[in-house]
Amino acid sequence: MPDENTFLLARCMWDEATKRRIEMQELRPFGVARNIFKAKLPAGKTITFQGIPAAQYESECVSWISDKSRLKKELVKLGMPVAKGGAVRTKDEAAALFRALVPPVIVKPHQGSGSRHTILHIKTENELSLAFIIAKQVSPMVVIEEELVGSVYRATLVGGKLIAVLRRDPPQVMGDGVHTIFELIEEENKHPARSGPYFAKIQLDERAREELARQEYEMDSVPLEEARVSLHQKVHWSAGGTSVDVTDEVHPDNVTIFEQIARELRAPVVGIDFIISDIRRSWKEEKRCGILECNSMPFIDKHHFPFEGKPRNVAGAIWDMVMTHYI
């Protein structure tokens, strides 16, 4: 049975397996949880997998999907919207590319690092130089791209079909014209969902103060009513970021490109991060929207437990795909 050491994604897979009379067993080499499982299907077939039971369908793309430069080239071939930019090795190359782009830009490692080394809102060459050093710590190649405009959305597809879409929001508070930002944060942190395991309290750290300064706020500022105040550059769950299910609001044109990407990659399960000002609008109507990255092992548990909105049973869709394959 799953315990406190079992990955949250795996718990969702386990719960849905039980409903389908699939016998699950976790394998822990040397007693350490490695997200490895064995599942005995009702038809008698036993499969072993890590994270998500889709290995038997995996295509060649799984080996390079985390390579941001390679993925971008493939998306461009398909005519998909992506940010303008490229990958560089040296500071001189970075400066030359920066001058050819329209700021603000973002800088990130060539290979994925969970966005921990990604720097946003870069407008000057001095800022570029500092960001380059940070990204270079984890990757010999550094990606520099024009910053896309809008919210970050995570679309998850199973068997080439769109199953769920979340809007991922940074930690933020809404002004009421009365309370200070500090007071608004204290009140927001009382939300029961922020007690874990899926969402965290908003952190009052240096990064929060830097983000406030970028918006010309301080902790004792009183934002206007309905003014949205961001407290982190990124949408990290651990920093207090949240999510809203928007599956039923996605424009048909956006559904089309998500499903086309999944088919072309031949990925049985794929998470697509997409930036657009409003998911209800077609990507064709937006100037600085695009695909951010793709992930062959997406955190499907986030769809099961959104901060707001309807839960989506992605784990169930995955097991349905697996069982269809073997029956």
* Beta-sheet pairing, 172-174 with 23-27: unpaired
Q: How far apart are CA 277 and CA 283, in angstroms?
A: 9
pLDDT score at 266: 87
Q: Please list, in sequence order, all residues whose beta carbon lies within 8 angstroms of the beta carbon of residue 62, skipping any fewer than 6 positions away.
A: 267, 296
Q: Answer with the one of 220, 240, 260 that is the final residue of a domain.
A: 240
Q: Indicate the range of 127-136, 261-270, 279-288 predicted with least confidence.
A: 261-270
Rounded to an integer, what is the distance from CA 199 to the centroid of its chain? 14
Does residue 234 have a pLDDT over 60? yes
Same domain, 182 and 142: no
293's tokens: 């990255």
Average per-residue pLDDT for the chain: 91
Q: Say if CB 155 and CB 272 are below 8 A apart.
A: yes
Torsion angle defined by CA atoms of residues 269, 275, 277 and 278, in that order, rounded to the nearest 10 degrees: 0
pLDDT tens-digit series, residues 54-76? 755 556 676 678 777 788 889 99
Q: Answer with the one of 16, 42, 57 that is the final residue of a domain.
A: 57
The rounded percent of the chain whose pLDDT value lies above 70 is 93
Q: CATH number of the domain that 92 lies in?
A: 3.30.1490.20
Residue 70 counted as domain residue: no
Residue 280 counted as domain residue: no
Domain span holding position 22: 8-57
Same domain, 217 and 181: yes
pLDDT tens-digit series, residues 119-155? 999 999 999 999 999 999 988 999 999 999 999 999 9
Does residue 116 have a pLDDT over 70? no
Residue 163 counted as domain residue: no
Q: Answer with the one of 240, 266, 283 that is the final residue of a domain.
A: 240
Does residue 93 have a pLDDT over 80? yes
pLDDT score at 6: 58
Q: How far apart are CA 324 and CA 20, in angstroms?
A: 12
Mean predicted confidence (pLDDT) in 200-224: 95
Residue 299 counted as domain residue: no
Q: Indicate the range of 1-15, 194-208, 246-260 predicted with least confidence.
A: 1-15
Same domain, 136 and 95: yes
pLDDT score at 319: 96
* H or E element in which residue 259 lies: helix 252-265
pLDDT score at 129: 96
Q: Please list, in sequence order, all residues whose beta carbon lies within 8 angstroms of the beta carbon of residue 179, skipping any fewer than 6 positions away.
A: 187, 222
pLDDT confidence band for 287 (50 / 70 / 90): confident
- Nearest CA to 164 out of 90, 243, 241 is that of 243
pLDDT score at 180: 98
Number of domains in the chain: 3
pTM over the 0.75 mark: yes
Does residue 118 have a pLDDT over 60? yes
Q: Can you spell out the DSSP letters for 54-110?
A: -GGG--GGGGTTTBHHHHHHHHHHTT----SEEEESSHHHHHHHHHHS-SSEEEEES
Residue 175 counted as domain residue: yes
- Nearest CA to 24 out of 221, 249, 315 is that of 315
pLDDT score at 326: 73
Q: Say if CB 249 and CB 309 are below 8 A apart.
A: no
Residue 92 counted as domain residue: yes
Same domain, 180 and 137: no
pLDDT confidence band for 112 (50 / 70 / 90): low
